[in-house]
């Protein structure tokens, strides 16, 4: 360990875990001397809810994912070299759900109720060095449920770090970097650096900030005498390369602290140079270029991995969204894992970083955050802003989602207080609340002190925004909430439904839904307050003054199984299912939001002889599509005016369905779907073939079955057994079925509408790994992965 350097040690490995009964109040678990030898050994991040069985009576309810919460204890024993005895040592938790309490060597460090915030403790005064052991104990209490409107997960579900610095160092989240006067010629980079100095004698301390471009070339440098705890420096970067969605260019600032000329700390901040604007008439622009915010809302769970954060799983989600043409993420309704923001910086997503789903007033869940509001909201909000304010991707702070205060006088007062908290820390981003009551009686909007008016839903009112709120800027903070089960189709596809209830003759009545808890994947079902995908998108694209929207949701998530309840336990809202398989409507967005040629034909072609089937195509870059069944043309269709898809209705006959898209008579794309026979063979597809031996890397393997001619069998539900040979483990299995009560931590999974997923996680050893998938009566298949 270099004498000058700070160290950042990943502290995820080798913890002990005990799942305590809620009546087990043994307070020895926090004591350093407690013998935890019989506790389970595990590595973090860890979610102790996801590994349990679904349960109808789970206090979280099906809205919370129907998985148990409860109390979990974690302990870690470690030693520290004598060489760091004179240093400052901190432990940082990126997220613990929830009510964490932490002890080190029998000293109580503190409580943190908020399950989504990152926090750190100074453990220096309590540490032992050399051969003596240190014990850190963490109690996680997620017993009182429901406390969330969606699946929360439980435990130390994000990374933990051990940080060591010298006595003079850049403080925790200690830099704040903004840029101004941005032109082709130059940009002013303003850096505020917070220095923590616990030296007792005065010394000559200085701070040098070095700006590096993406290639590591120095593009700016400034040295200042450290005479105060905050140092302000302005640097000029010539010919700056701007951060954008298409080219997310990142710079680095290296903060070097020296004492009497000797380096004592080095701290790196990644930042980007960009400017953006919301305009009441022209909507949003990035670096001067008009840009619609084409966003999705996501919750934090990663499907079968639960809340346990994994950067590769998050990256996969973002890749799938990027391919769709999505350019923005709303971290609904809480601060995300910090690595998610790093990914958004790197991959080019705009982020609406959200703080709260409720304020001081009760909302929906008995044990929700409103109970912690009085003591914690200021600290939680400040920490989120300080942690996240250097990310170029973050462009909006949302201070609340559909809070009960929208209709109360306190709404304006709290909004004012929260706005002041943020503006004391960052003035470079607009503030918004997501309002499901966005009419002029809304007390938060009426207060007028926020920068954007946020609409949740109400797509029929969007066109009137300028009349309702003259001169105001907007963002559709949440939209759509359409419902779909991947691979399930209900005819006729042009009938529209509101589920679970609809209005008939002015009266609300329960809708007749499907007894097997399916929802058609033709974009034809939406929640009563919501719209189909097509309805909202048609509206949004019409008006320049609408800055953009965040669709509910990009990915299905655990919990909130609207329109159903138990045994459904995950959402139907996603454009992409819980396993990461796109539903058909994904391609509607891709055809509208990207310029790459799209022709998506559906449904599958396995029906009953003579049955009337609706065939849809989403397409772009073409002026017509012709459909053929067994070589016979069924006619040409063209999208008229606002259309987003074309359709043919025809009686089923087995064979080959083929669609050809053409532009001015020239073929652009051809798609074929064949009637499949009985399954004979399992087929595997891996998203990559190589992994790092870091214990974290993941490969996502899709399993399906094919008939004797290699045609995918679309509705297959065969049980697939996965077997791993070599140094890797099965981190989770899934199939995207919101009604499945099969465990996620298992070696087998039924296909659901033809697909299943196995997530393979590297261990820490290089070598070859073989994943084999077998199924009763079928030919097995295997795939080789290389770990290095």
**Residues at the contact surface with ligand GAL, assessed by CB under 6 A:** 401-402, 436, 456, 478, 481, 527, 530, 552, 560
Closest distance of CB 357 from ligand GAL, Å: 7
User: Rounded to the nearest whole angstrom, what is the least distance from the CB of residue 529 to ligand GAL in the complex?
Assistant: 7
Q: Of 2, 337, 32, which Cα lies nearest the Cα of 164?
A: 2
Residues 188, 189, 194, 200, CA torsion sign: negative
**Conformational region of residue 665, where left means phi above 0, alpha means psi within -120 to 50, and beta covers everything else:** left
Closer by beta carbon to ligand GAL, 264 or else 456: 456
670: number of Cβ within 10 Å: 13
Q: Would you say 527 or 625 has its CB closer to ligand GAL?
A: 527
Instruction: Answer for the pair 434, 454: CB distance below 8 angstroms, yes or no.
Output: yes
Active site residue 402: yes
Q: Which of 266, 478, 592, 624 is catalytic?
A: 478
Q: C-beta of 293: minimal distance to ligand GAL in Å? A: 17
Comparison of 577 and 614: residue with beta carbon closer to ligand GAL: 577
Give the per-residue SS3 of 725-769: ECCEEEEEEECCCCCCCCCCCCCEEECECCEEEEEEEECCCCEEE
Question: How far is residue 705's CA from residue 751's CA, in Å, rounded to a whole number?
Answer: 9
Spatial separation of the C-alpha atoms in residues 638 and 23, rounded to whole Å = 65
Q: Which is nearer to ligand GAL, 386 or 575 (CB)?
A: 575
Catalytic residue status for 478: yes
State yes or no: cis peptide before 492, omega within 30 of 0: yes
Q: Which is nearer to ligand GAL, 108 or 529 (CB)?
A: 529
Alpha-carbon span 285 to 293, nearest angstrom: 9
Least distance to ligand GAL from the beta carbon of 62, Å? Answer: 13
- Give the Cβ contact number of residue 416 at 10 Å: 15
| Cα 128 from chain centre | 39
Q: Give the nearest distance from C-beta 233 to ligand GAL in angstroms.
A: 41
Return the residue matching tokens 């063979």: 681
**In the bound complex, what is the minimum distance in angstroms from residue 252's beta carbon to ligand GAL?**
36
How far apart (Å, rounded) are the C-alpha atoms in residues 62 and 60? Answer: 7
Catalytic residue among 92, 266, 354, 402: 402
CB of 570 to ligand GAL, least distance (A): 13
Toward ligand GAL, which CB reaches closer, 211 or 365? 365
> 338-347 vs 311-324: helix axis angle to the nearest 10?
40
Closest residue to ligand GAL, judged by C-beta, is 481
Q: Closest separation between CB of residue 560 and ligand GAL, Å?
A: 6
Nearer to ligand GAL, 179 or 481 (CB): 481
Among 464, 700, 436, smallest CA distance to 579 is for 700
Four-point Cα dihedral 747, 752, 755, 761, nearest 10: -30
**E strand or H helix at 270, and its extent?**
strand 262-271
Q: Rank residues 401 and 675 by Cβ distance to ligand GAL and give the closer one.
A: 401
Q: Which is nearer to ligand GAL, 389 or 458 (CB)?
A: 458
- 111: exposed, middle or buried (C-beta count within 10 Å: 0-12, 13-18, 19+)? middle
How far is it between the farthest Cα atoms of the chain?
A: 90
In the complex, least distance from residue 18 CB atom to ligand GAL, rounded to whole angstroms: 33
CA angle (649, 650, 652) in 5-degree steps:
135
Give the nearest distance from C-beta 372 to ligand GAL in angstroms. Answer: 19
Residue of 575, 616, 622, 617 whose CA lies nearest to 597: 622
**CA dihedral in degrees (589, 468, 358, 555; nearest 10)?**
0
Closest CB to ligand GAL among residues 293, 646: 293
| Rounded Cα gap, residues 20 and 27, in angstroms | 11
- Cβ closest to ligand GAL, residue 66 vs residue 137: 66
Report, in Å, the least distance between residue 436 CB and ligand GAL.
5
Q: Please report how many Cα atoms fall inside a 13 Å half-sphere around the Cα of residue 515, on the Cβ side.
A: 0
End-to-end CA distance of the chain: 26
| Strands, E assignment, 593-697 | 599-602, 612-619, 624-629, 632-637, 646-651, 656-663, 666-674, 681-686, 690-691
- Residues known to be catalytic: 402, 478
């Amino acid at each position: 360990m270099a004498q000058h350097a700070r160290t950042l040690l990943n502290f995820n490995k080798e913890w002990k875990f005990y799942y305590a009964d809620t009546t087990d109040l043994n307070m020895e678990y926090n004591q350093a001397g407690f013998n935890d030898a019989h506790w389970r050994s595990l590595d973090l991040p860890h979610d102790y809810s996801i590994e349990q069985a679904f349960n109808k009576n789970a206090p979280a309810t099906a809205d919370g994912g129907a998985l148990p919460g409860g109390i979990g204890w974690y302990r870690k024993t470690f030693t520290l070299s004598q060489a760091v005895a004179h240093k400052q040592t901190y432990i940082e938790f990126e997220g613990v759900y929830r009510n964490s309490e932490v002890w080190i060597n029998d000293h109580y460090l503190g409580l943190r109720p908020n399950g989504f915030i990152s926090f750190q403790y100074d453990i220096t005064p309590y540490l032992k060095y050399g051969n003596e052991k240190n014990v850190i104990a963490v109690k996680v209490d997620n017993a009182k449920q429901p406390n969330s409107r969606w699946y929360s997960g439980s435990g130390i579900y994000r990374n933990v770090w051990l940080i060591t610095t010298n006595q003079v160092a850049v403080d925790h989240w200690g830099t704040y970097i903004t840029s101004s006067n941005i032109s082709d010629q130059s940009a002013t980079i303003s850096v505020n650096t917070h220095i923590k100095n616990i030296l007792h004698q005065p010394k000559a301390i200085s701070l040098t900030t070095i700006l590096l471009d993406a290639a590591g070339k120095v593009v700016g440098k400034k040295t200042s005498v450290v005479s105060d705890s905050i140092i302000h420096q302005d640097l000029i970067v010539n010919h700056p390369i701007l951060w954008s969605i298409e080219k997310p260019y990142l710079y680095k600032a290296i903060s070097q602290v020296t004492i009497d000329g000797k380096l004592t700390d080095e701290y790196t901040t990644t930042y980007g140079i960009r400017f953006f604007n919301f305009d009441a008439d022209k909507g949003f622009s990035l670096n001067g270029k008009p840009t619609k915010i084409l966003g999705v809302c996501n919750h934090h769970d990663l499907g079968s991995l639960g809340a346990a954060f994994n950067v590769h799983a998050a990256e996969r989600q973002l890749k799938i969204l990027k391919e769709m043409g999505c350019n923005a993420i709303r971290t609904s309704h809480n601060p995300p894992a910090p690595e998610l923001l790093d990914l958004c910086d790197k991959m080019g997503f705009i982020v609406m970083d959200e703080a709260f789903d409720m304020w001081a007033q009760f909302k929906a869940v008995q044990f929700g955050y409103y109970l912690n509001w009085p003591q914690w909201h200021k600290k939680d909000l400040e920490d989120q802003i300080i942690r996240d304010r250097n990310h170029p991707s973050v462009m909006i702070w949302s201070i609340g989602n559909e809070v009960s205060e929208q209709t109360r006088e306190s709404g304006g007062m709290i909004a004012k207080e929260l706005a002041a908290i943020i503006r004391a820390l960052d003035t470079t981003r607009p503030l918004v609340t997501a309002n499901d009551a966005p009419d002029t009686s809304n007390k938060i909007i009426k207060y007028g002190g926020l920068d954007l008016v946020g609409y949740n839903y109400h797509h029929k009112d969007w066109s009137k925004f300028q009349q309702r709120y003259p001169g105001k800027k907007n963002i559709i903070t949440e939209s759509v909430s359409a419902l779909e089960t991947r691979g399930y189709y209900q005819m006729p596809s042009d009938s529209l439904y509101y589920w679970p209830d609809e209005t008939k003759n002015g009266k609300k009545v329960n809708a007749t839904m499907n007894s097997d808890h399916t929802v058609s994947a033709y974009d034809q079902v939406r929640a009563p307050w919501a719209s189909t995908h097509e309805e909202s998108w048609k509206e949004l694209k019409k008006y320049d003054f609408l800055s953009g929207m965040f669709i509910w949701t990009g990915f299905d998530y655990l919990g909130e199984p609207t329109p159903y309840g138990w045994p459904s336990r995950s959402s139907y809202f996603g454009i992409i299912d819980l396993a990461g398989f796109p539903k058909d409507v994904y391609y509607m967005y891709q055809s509208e939001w990207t310029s790459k040629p799209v022709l998506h034909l559906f449904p599958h072609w396995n029906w009953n002889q003579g049955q009337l089937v609706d065939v849809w195509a989403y397409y772009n870059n073409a002026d017509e599509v012709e459909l053929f069944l067994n070589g016979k043309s069924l006619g040409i269709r063209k999208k008229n005016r606002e259309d987003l898809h074309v359709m043919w209705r025809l009686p089923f006959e087995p064979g080959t369905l083929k669609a050809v898209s053409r532009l001015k008579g020239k073929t652009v794309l051809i798609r074929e779907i064949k009637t499949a026979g009985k399954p004979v063979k399992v087929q595997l597809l891996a998203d990559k073939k190589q992994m790092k031996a870091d214990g974290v890397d993941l490969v996502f393997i899709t399993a399906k079955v094919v008939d004797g001619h290699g045609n995918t069998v679309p509705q297959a539900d065969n049980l697939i057994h996965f077997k791993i040979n070599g140094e890797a483990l099965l981190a989770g299995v899934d199939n995207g079925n919101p009604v499945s009560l099969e465990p996620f931590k298992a070696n087998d999974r039924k296909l659901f509408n033809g697909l299943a997923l196995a997530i393979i996680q590297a261990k820490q050893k290089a070598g070859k790994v073989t994943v084999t998938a077998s199924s009763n009566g079928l030919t097995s298949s295997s795939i080789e992965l290389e770990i290095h």
